[in-house]
Amino acid sequence: TERPIYQPGQTVFFKGIIRQDNDALVENVAAGVPVTAVLYDSRNNELSRQELLTNDFGTVNGAFQLADGAALGDYQVRLSAYDVTERLSIQVEAYRKPDFAVDLTLSTDRAAVDDIINVTVDSSYFFGGPVSGAGVTVNVWQVADYDYWSNKRVLRSGQTDEAGLFTAEFSGNETGKYIVEAVVANGSSYTVASSAAIELFPAAHQISVQRGSYLQQPNTPFTVRATLLDLTGAPAANRPVEFVFYRYSRSSHRYSLEAERLSVQTDSRGVASLTLSLPEADWYRVLARSADPAGRVVSGERWFLVWSRSWQGYLAQDDSLRISPDRDSYLPGDTATFIIESEYSGPALLTLERGAVYDVLPVALTAPITFVELPIQAHYAPNVHATIQHWDPLDNELTQRTYRSVPDLMLRVATTEVTVPATDRLLNVEIIQDRESYKPGETANVTLRVTNWQGVPVSAEIELAVVDEAIFALAADNVTPLYDAFYFNRPDQVRTLDNMRPQRSLWIPYGGGMGGGGGDYFDGPRREFRDTAAYFPALRTDANGEVQVAIPLPDNLTTWRLTARAVTGDTQIGTMQEQLLVTQDLLLQPLLPAQLVEGDTIQLSALLHNRTGTALTLAATLALADETALALRGSAVQEVVLPAGGQQLIGWPIEALTASEALVTITMTNAEGQIVDQVELPLPVVRRAVHSVTSEAGQLGAELATTVTIPDSELREAYVAVTLNRTIASSLLDGLEDLTGYPYGCVEQTMSRALPNAVVSRALTQLNVVDPVRFASLTPYIEASVQRLYGFQHGDGGWGWWFSDPTHDYQTAWVVFGLAQTAESGYPVNETVLANGSDWLARHLTEMDERTRAFALYAMALTGRYELNETRILAAAPDRLDSFSVAALALTLHEAGYAAEAQQLIDYLLASRPAGQSYWSGDIEDGYYTRKTMASDVRNTAMVLTALARIRPAAPQIDEIADWLMGQRQAFGWGTTNETSFAIIALTDYLVSRSEFSEQAAYEVWWGDELVASGTIGPEAPQASVAIPLAELTPGEFPLRVTQTGQGPLYYRVDTHLYEQASPGAAAGPVAVTRSYRLPAAGEPTLSFQPGDLVRVELKVVVSEAAAYVLVEDKVPAGLEPINPGLDTSSGEAQQHYGSHYSYLEMRDGRVSFFITELAPGTHTFVYFARVVQSGTFSAMPAEMYAMYDLTVWGRSAGAIVEIPPGG
């Protein structure tokens, strides 16, 4: 892909290079090879698929469009060809790009405890020039197990110098891994963090011991070596090394008998060699010790055996054969010298191999060292494996200790890898710009030139990506270098076996893939800002190896990274990166929040920069396009004198008045009044109110007369909505919109979106309800949701609430039920996915609550799998079940063809309904079952209605049950997504069982004495909607009347939409929710901060009873910005986990959302960190908690006002 990170709504460009790998002979494929490209989201859901064909260079390219509301997290682009799939991960996050880069470097990344490590911080603007006078804090963190950052310590704080540099020193007194971090603020309160890792060791040296063969003989000299290196791998010469030899003690069972102690000096290679002999046969341990210049001791040890035939002890076997090359790498034509260490003299075989044996050379070994020279061939590239093998005679004399037969000979094998870089495969790629720098909106003319390793022009295809360098500060480049992707070192696929041992193994070759692989310039306001300026996937060079490209530049002032990747038909490859600077001598940086809330006041800021060599007088003017949304509470013009190379932060006091998509324009002029820079940006203002809806629904005959109560509330945008439907069918389409527009995407909600769409689509087709626009929109929702569910499925075949949750019985039954009905509705469903889900249910039936088991049996029956014995056992005792599960059993028996038994359960259901009641309540309830299965009156009644419609459609009670269910319709569906889904399915089944009256009728809607709407409703226009604004009204009660002149009923719904001011102290709901803001060091809650402060936000939720499927969500005040752990520019606080466990976390659009599968009774605290980035007075809208499937479980914190004085 052209970059590693994206935001929702952006386009992902990708390219693939397809090659055949014939044992490192990388060959092009023919044109026209099919390649499948698929985009998967962070939960492994397939989002988009493209079928592509390779061109004559063996490449493909394409683009995926991310939805505006796309889930955040790690995505994958997968390319498949020839049954091989390669994957590349990308990030999708809601981010703000940094304006400057921070580069932190350490004097070393490996040091000893108590050593002094120099830390250098270099800060520079992406539009050019140093960030001078910026505030810097250098921290150090310890990296605990599982990469958690902990034990933060501030090393030094201060400001960058004129060159943008800052230095500090670090030392640690504990070994382990550390992260050194610099957090830099350039005077705007927006911070950028950068970090580097270092590991501390006990000493500045490291030692290893080599003892040759592990088997020695008494009184026979042998050599022991110790290699002493510093932490960078360089030799530590002229350092004393002490060798101590310990003999094994059979009384203490330790190596405690000192046999010898000698000291040797290391040579220029850092090697200390010692030759000695030991008289006694036994096991020994050699310990080598040395001290670094600071006196810190390092040691290493090895074990060996001094052995004779008379020795009575345990004898192990050792091959005592080694081979190594004299150099790390070679070029074709070089001569390699292999050093073979052996205890054996005699014939041996040396082979050069990789996917096959390339060369064979007989060798005469002369112990202990044999040198073999061999020319390096071109086909050895990129690597080859040298293997030496010989037969070693064994002592097969039987003794009392022999417990198995010993062969006469044993094949000894040793191998080493030889690197032969494929340098002739490397291309030289040049990027030649026509100018040193550019201005926004200009066109950059760039020449790309490609030559081979000998400098000869070649015909090549080039991918050119032009991406804002700031993107790579957020996330590192994710593309594998092309050389590493195609010419990586291959494993040795040759195995040497011998016929002296009767054992063989089947070996499947490794089929590894190739890796995912100034003042005188003004041309209108800058308003077009992009992350990718341009992307050219398949440019082709001419006979001179060149291609010219014109790159239209957007309005960003930044450094663009130009990345060119070239490939030829014979897979020569090359990559080059250059930077293209877009800048101005005089420029401004607006520092706007993502949004404001009505009533917020803010010091709207901008940084002015003078990059000339002369002090200048400049003016900045703020203009507001909509003064009803934003009000300027001061002078619109700010005049400053900027020194040469200087910058200054300025601001305007602004008040947010009304909700609107406001537009802000800042203009910078010089002393002559000429415009030198101008930026236009949106600044949305949102309501400082909590939206509430009350609903009334039902049927009307000739007239409906009702009263709408308007409380003392904010009425500017309040309204009453009246919806009329001639049939249930047209009403169901509204229910679908409630589901398809739902903002989250767990397993249940995904299924609740797919299934009703599929069922209603089929039913409305049967009923001849024509709405082509809506029908055309159903299929993409269904297909996308089904694909998401595939990705949510666990390896065991089941589903949880989220992919990371444990498999749950009801969630699995719900998805199997839904996928089976989706397939029945004519939409393609993967049979294996469905079968695996059904298998999981079958394996776990006996573990389920009986009520869940009944639903699981119905879900399995819909897939054609009947467990009749279990079904009949449950059906025999319906009084132990609730109405939902009894209805599910009746449907199971009906599906299996047992009509009489199904009718008996229908009789039981009708008899169990209380007299005069048109619905079934929870019946047998317990808290856990209700929470985990989303049980409710609507769900129960919907399942009974489905059973009646399918088993006994002529039941006299069916119409009133359907009417009751329609009467439960609220402003947004039937309550929860699960309730809405079951209600739509039931009413659809009811519709199919009878024909509705749809004669045309005239209607009128009266608000008091005023006729506000009239029209006709019928087959051609089955629905009418009327909105009555309340802005001019005063609180009180108002009569609403709806009349119709046709025959048969109309279905109506009256929704009153109000906005309650979110004022401090307005906590609400049965669940206590409190929110606190704290400075991490102080710990006490506060609502007053200084710009640049780090804030710990705690959301405390107190539940008296267990709750399931919970969302805890906070709306971040405009003056704060949450720290996202998914971005490389975030400071270390985001790497830590605090508070209670959650299943999933999202940060986007001014919201921080925690999803929790189960909340036990008690107090739970959810924590995130935010940085103060704006000055002003900001509304903190209430934090909310609610159970997604039990709307009685909810809570809302008080609102608050956060105060941040300017210039802190």
Boundary-marking domain end, from 256, 275, 306: 306
The whole-angstrom separation of Cα 219 and Cα 216 is: 9
Are 118 and 182 within one domain?
A: yes
* Residue whose C-alpha is closest to residue 311's, from 278, 285, 280, 343: 280
The whole-angstrom separation of Cα 533 and Cα 523 is: 19
Are 331 and 441 within one domain?
A: no
Boundary-marking domain end, from 943, 963, 986: 986
Are 1023 and 1077 within one domain?
A: no
The answer to whether position 384 is within a domain reads yes
pLDDT tens digits, one per residue of 627-661: 889 999 999 999 999 999 999 999 999 999 988 88
> Helix or strand or coil: residue 855?
helix
Beta-carbon contacts of 402 under 8 Å, excluding residues fewer than 6 positions away, are none
User: Half-sphere exposure (CA, 13 Å, Cβ side) for 742?
Assistant: 28
Q: Would you say residue 714 has pLDDT above 90?
A: no
Both ends of the chain: CA-CA distance in Å?
A: 42
Contact 603, 1174 (CB under 8 A): yes
Report the domain count for the chain.
9
**φ, ψ for residue 389, nearest 5 deg:** -140, 140
What's the pLDDT at 639?
95
The answer to whether position 630 is within a domain reads yes
What's the pLDDT at 504?
37
Q: Would you say residue 1141 has pLDDT above 70?
A: yes
Beta-carbon contacts of 939 under 8 Å, excluding residues fewer than 6 positions away, are 884, 978, 979, 982
What's the pLDDT at 307?
79
- CATH code, domain with 807: 1.50.10.20
pLDDT band at 519 (very low <50, low <70, confident <90, very high): very low
Q: Would you say residue 124 has pLDDT above 70?
A: yes
What's the pLDDT at 974?
78
Question: Given strand 428-433, what is the order of strands in its sheet?
Answer: 428-433, 443-451, 546-552
Are 874 and 898 within one domain?
A: yes
The answer to whether position 521 is within a domain reads no
Mean pLDDT of 977-996: 78
pLDDT tens digits, one per residue of 615-628: 999 999 999 988 88
H/E element, 609: strand 601-610
Percentages helix, strand, coil for the chain (3-state, rounded to 5) are 15, 45, 40
Are 326 and 187 within one domain?
A: no
The whole-angstrom separation of Cα 936 and Cα 928 is: 13
Are 84 and 106 within one domain?
A: no
pLDDT tens digits, one per residue of 426-459: 999 999 999 999 999 999 999 999 999 999 999 9
Contact 696, 1053 (CB under 8 A): yes
* Residue whose C-alpha is closest to residue 200's, from 270, 139, 117, 121: 117
Handedness of CA 944, 949, 951, 955 (dihedral sign): positive
Contact 747, 811 (CB under 8 A): yes
The answer to whether position 653 is within a domain reads yes
**Where is average pLDDT lowest: 459-468, 613-622, 724-733, 1082-1091?**
724-733
Cis peptide before 368 (omega within 30 of 0): yes
Tokens coding 170: 């670090």
H/E element, 1036: strand 1036-1044
Integer angstrom CA distances of residue 89 from 4, 65, 289, 477, 804: 8, 16, 46, 11, 19
Higher pLDDT, 303 or 236: 236
DSSP string, 158-187: EE--TTSEEEEEE--SS-EEEEEEEEEE-S
Mean pLDDT of 708-717: 76
The answer to whether position 311 is within a domain reads no
The answer to whether position 1083 is within a domain reads yes
Are 432 and 417 within one domain?
A: no
Q: Would you say residue 1142 has pLDDT above 60?
A: yes
> Helix or strand or coil: residue 682?
strand
Length of the chain (residues): 1208
Could you count the other beta carbons within 10 Å of the beta carbon of residue 767?
18
* Residue whose C-alpha is closest to residue 837's, from 795, 884, 877: 795
Beta-carbon contacts of 461 under 8 Å, excluding residues fewer than 6 positions away, are 55, 57, 59, 538, 539, 540, 566, 567, 568
Question: Given strand 100-106, what is the order of strands in its sheet?
Answer: 100-106, 117-125, 165-170
**Where is average pLDDT lowest: 172-176, 619-623, 876-880, 1104-1108?**
1104-1108
Handedness of CA 41, 46, 51, 55 (dihedral sign): positive
CA 293, chain centre distance (Å): 47
The whole-angstrom separation of Cα 881 and Cα 856 is: 14
pTM of model > 0.85: no
Integer angstrom CA distances of residue 1179 from 141, 714, 1064, 1200: 34, 17, 9, 6
What's the pLDDT at 753?
58
Are 786 and 899 within one domain?
A: yes
Are 867 and 927 within one domain?
A: yes
Q: Would you say residue 1189 has pLDDT above 70?
A: no
The whole-angstrom separation of Cα 156 and Cα 121 is: 12
Q: Could you identify the residue written with the tokens 């901008």?
A: 606
Boundary-marking domain end, from 250, 281, 306: 306
Strand partners, 589: 607
The answer to whether position 1006 is within a domain reads yes
* Residue whose C-alpha is closest to residue 182's, from 102, 97, 101: 102
Q: What angle do CA 210, 214, 220 make, to 5 degrees?
A: 95
The whole-angstrom separation of Cα 1165 and Cα 113 is: 38
- CATH code, domain with 83: 2.60.40.1930
Question: Given strand 271-276, what is the order of strands in its sheet?
Answer: 205-210, 222-230, 271-276
Are 678 and 696 within one domain?
A: no
DSSP string, 227-248: EEEETTS-B--S-EEEEEEEEE
What's the pLDDT at 899?
93
What's the pLDDT at 913?
86
Q: Are strands 428-433 and 1151-1159 parallel, antiparallel or unpaired?
A: unpaired
Are 667 and 816 within one domain?
A: no
Outline where DSSP puts E strands in 219-356. 222-230, 240-249, 254-265, 271-276, 282-291, 297-306, 321-325, 335-342, 346-353
Are 786 and 712 within one domain?
A: no
The answer to whether position 154 is within a domain reads yes
* Residue whose C-alpha is closest to residue 465's, from 547, 390, 366, 560: 560
The whole-angstrom separation of Cα 745 and Cα 1150 is: 19
User: Domain span at residue 1187?
Assistant: 1067-1204
What's the pLDDT at 518?
39
SS3 per residue for 338-398: EEEEECCCEEEEEEEECCCEEEEEEEEECCCEEEEEEECCHHHCCEEEEEEEEEEECCCCC
What's the pLDDT at 398?
55
The whole-angstrom separation of Cα 946 and Cα 928 is: 25
- CATH code, domain with 255: 2.60.40.10
pLDDT tens digits, one per residue of 336-377: 999 898 878 899 999 999 999 999 999 999 987 899 999 999
Contact 820, 863 (CB under 8 A): yes
pLDDT tens digits, one per residue of 726-754: 766 556 655 555 444 444 456 555 655 55
The whole-angstrom separation of Cα 854 and Cα 947 is: 14
Higher pLDDT, 799 or 504: 799
